[in-house]
Structure 1
Amino acid sequence: MNPKQGVILYGPPASGKDTVTVALTELNSRYAQFARLKVGTGKAAGYRMGTVEQLRKLEASGGVLYANTRYGNTYIIDAAGLNTAFAAGVPVVHLGQVDGIRALVDGHPADWSVVLLWCPRKVTEQRSAGRGDRDIAARLGAWDATREDLDKHPGTTWDLTVDTTASTPQNAARLIDQLLAQRAGAATA
Structure 2
Amino acid sequence: MPTTAASITRAERATQNRHRGAVLWLTGLSGAGKSTVAQALARRLFEMDCRSYVLDGDQLRTGLCADLGFSDAARSENIRRAGELAALFADAGMIVICAFISPFGADRARAKALVPDGAFLEIYCQCPLAVCEERDVKGLYRRARDGQLAQFTGISSPYEAPAAPDLALDTASGSVDDALAALLVLLRERRIVHQA
TM range (shorter): 0.5 to 0.7
Q: Compare the two structures and name the one with the higher strand fraction.
A: 1
Identity of aligned residues (%): 18
The one of 152, 170, 179 equivalent to 1:172 is 179
Which has the larger Rg? 2
Q: Does 1:122 align with 2:136?
A: no
Cα shift at 1:176 = 0.8
The residue identity in structure 1 corresponding to 2:115 is: H
Using the size of structure 2 for normalisation, the TM-score is 0.65
Match of 1:33 in 2: 54
Output one character per residue of 1:59-107: Cα deviation in whole Å (capped at 9) or x when no partner. Answer: xxxxxxxx9535xx95532535631354262001233321121001113
RMSD over aligned CA atoms reads 3.5
Rounded Cα–Cα distance in structure 2 between residues aligned with 1:140 and 1:122: 18
Rounded Cα–Cα distance in structure 2 between residues aligned with 1:51 and 1:165: 29
Compared CA separation, residues 78 and 172, structure 1 to 2 (3 A):
closer
Rounded Cα–Cα distance in structure 1 between residues aligned with 2:139 and 2:55: 22
Match of 1:143 in 2: 154
Match of 1:92 in 2: 97
Using the size of structure 1 for normalisation, the TM-score is 0.67
Match of 1:39 in 2: none
Match of 2:36 in 1: 19
Output one character per residue of 1:153-173: Cα deviation in whole Å (capped at 9) or x when no partner. Answer: 7xx211111111121122202
Match of 2:63 in 1: 49
- The question of whether the paired residues in 2 share the 8 Å contact of 1:20 and 1:173 is answered with yes
Report SS of the residue matched to 2:74: strand
| Gap runs ≥5 in structure 2 | 1-10, 15-19
Cα shift at 1:16 = 0.6
Rounded Cα–Cα distance in structure 1 between residues aligned with 2:126 and 2:66: 32
The residue identity in structure 2 corresponding to 1:27 is: R
Report SS of the residue matched to 1:6: strand
Rounded Cα–Cα distance in structure 2 between residues aligned with 1:17 and 1:52: 21
The one of 23, 39, 44 equivalent to 1:6 is 23
Q: Compare the two structures and name the one with the higher helix fraction.
A: 1
Cα shift at 1:139 = 9.3
- The question of whether the paired residues in 2 share the 8 Å contact of 1:6 and 1:90 is answered with yes
Number of residue pairs the alignment of both structures matches:
159
- The question of whether the paired residues in 2 share the 8 Å contact of 1:33 and 1:91 is answered with yes
Cα shift at 1:108 = 3.0
The one of 157, 164, 167 equivalent to 2:164 is 157
The residue identity in structure 1 corresponding to 2:26 is: L
Match of 1:184 in 2: 191
